[in-house]
């Protein structure tokens, strides 16, 4: 395997990380909910894709038509029912962060335990487009290339939504200045619920894509939540382009690490990058210090 192939492989993984991080950023940057159960929804979507494929022989990409609206609705409900009371009672942003961390922690355990009870803790895998594919002289697995393309398409759609629509403008305003946004007539509650649910929809796409090329089990959620956190912090809270760049950066760094050192150290790489950003640019790569 040549170095270029390693880097390109990293970019492909990184595209997926970017997608996961953008969803998290919608929830944390716009709706101000620090959702530690984020990865659990990714896990749920992965299982949905798995069962649809193995039981009903439904193509995972077609299955998105079902899992995306379901996850959108579920996350909308989580915001309205579980998070809104906390938003209403919080005096400061710190209060809200403390409360939401604990509440979503509870949700994490609840969902993980329920999935383990329902699906057993076994590792799952299915064969979907697991064939080599030639692109400009380099070989990649077709399912990874598909995952990358879908991630790009969804990312582009989100970017257009955020920059070209009134809803998108309202969300960006909320991310930058919640008080100011309210003053100019943004319905903060409705927009936050929408952004939170949108994050849930993105992670459903990501979970489906992950399931096509990775082995998964009910406990994988935390790992993805952690990576999403690291990427969002690197790219800057509320900054979607930042998440994109940081996500690709993380993918490439991981890929280089497993090529040169050891594939068991990918989390260490994420943490190492995070530490550097933390010490050098605490507001993220693109934040103003």
Partner 1 sequence: MRASLAVTALAVLVAALAAVPWLVSDYGLGFITNLMCYVVLTVAWALFSGTTRYVSLATAAFFGLGAYTVAMLIKEVPIYATFGAALVLGTLVAALVGLATLRISGMFFVIFGFGLSELARELLVWWEINRTHTMGRYVFVSFDTTMIYEHLLGLAVLVFLVGWLLRRTRLGVALLVIGDDETMARQAGVNVPLAKVTMFVVSSVFMTIVGAVMAPRFGYLTPNIAFNPMISFQVVIMALLGGMQRLWGPLLGVIPLIVLSELLQIRFPFWYSVFLGLVFMVIVYFLPRGVTGLVEDGWELLRRLSLRARLLRRQPSGAR
Q: Where does this chain bind partner 1 (CB under 8 A)?
A: 34, 36, 82, 85-86, 94, 97-99, 101-103, 105-114, 116-117, 121, 222, 226, 229-230, 233, 262, 264-265, 267-268, 270-271, 274-275, 278-279, 282
Nearest distance, CB of residue 116 and partner 1, angstroms: 4
Nearest distance, CB of residue 155 and partner 1, angstroms: 23
Nearest distance, CB of residue 262 and partner 1, angstroms: 6
Q: Which of 236, 268, 235, 275 is nearest to 253 (CA)?
A: 268
Is the Cβ of residue 164 or residue 283 nearer to partner 1 in the bound state? Answer: 283
Token representation of residue 154: 């969804």
Phi and psi angles of residue 141, each rounded to the nearest 5 degrees, phi first = -75, 135
Is the Cβ of residue 1 or residue 118 nearer to partner 1 in the bound state? Answer: 118
Residue 30 contacts residue 238 (beta carbons within 8 Å)? yes
Nearest distance, CB of residue 106 and partner 1, angstroms: 3
Is the Cβ of residue 62 or residue 110 nearer to partner 1 in the bound state? Answer: 110
Is the Cβ of residue 62 or residue 267 nearer to partner 1 in the bound state? Answer: 267
225 CA to centre of own chain: 7
Token representation of residue 111: 């969902």
Residue 180: exposed, middle, or buried by beta-carbon count in 10 A (0-12, 13-18, 19+)? exposed
Alpha-carbon distance 27 to 130, whole Å? 33
């Amino acid at each position: 395997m040549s170095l270029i192939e390693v880097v390109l492989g990293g970019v492909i993984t990184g595209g997926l990380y970017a997608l996961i991080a953008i969803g998290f950023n919608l929830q944390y940057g716009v709706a101000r909910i620090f959702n530690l159960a984020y990865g659990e929804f990714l896990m749920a979507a992965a299982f949905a894709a798995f069962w649809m494929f193995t039981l009903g022989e439904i193509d995972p990409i077609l299955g998105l038509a079902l899992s995306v609206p379901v996850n959108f609705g579920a996350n909308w409900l989580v915001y309205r029912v579980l998070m809104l009371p906390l938003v209403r009672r919080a005096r400061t942003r710190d209060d809200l962060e403390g409360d939401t961390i604990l509440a979503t922690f509870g949700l994490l355990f609840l969902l993980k335990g329920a999935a383990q009870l329902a699906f057993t803790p076994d590792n799952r895998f299915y064969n979907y487009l697991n064939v080599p594919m030639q692109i400009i002289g380099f070989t990649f697995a077709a399912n990874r290339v598909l995952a990358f393309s879908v991630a790009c398409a969804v990312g582009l759609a989100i970017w257009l939504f955020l920059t070209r629509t009134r809803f998108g403008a309202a969300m960006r305003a909320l991310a930058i200045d919640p008080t100011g946004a309210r003053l100019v007539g943004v319905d903060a509650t409705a927009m936050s619920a929408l952004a939170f649910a949108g994050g849930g929809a993105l992670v459903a796409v990501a979970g489906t894509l992950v399931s096509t090329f990775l082995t998964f089990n009910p406990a994988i959620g935390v790992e993805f939540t952690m990576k999403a956190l690291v990427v969002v912090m690197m790219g800057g809270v509320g900054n979607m382009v930042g998440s994109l760049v940081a996500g690709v950066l993380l993918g490439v760094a991981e890929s280089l690490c497993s090529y040169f050192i050891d594939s068991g150290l990918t989390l260490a790489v994420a943490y190492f990058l995070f530490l550097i950003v933390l010490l050098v640019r605490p507001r993220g790569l693109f934040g103003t210090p």
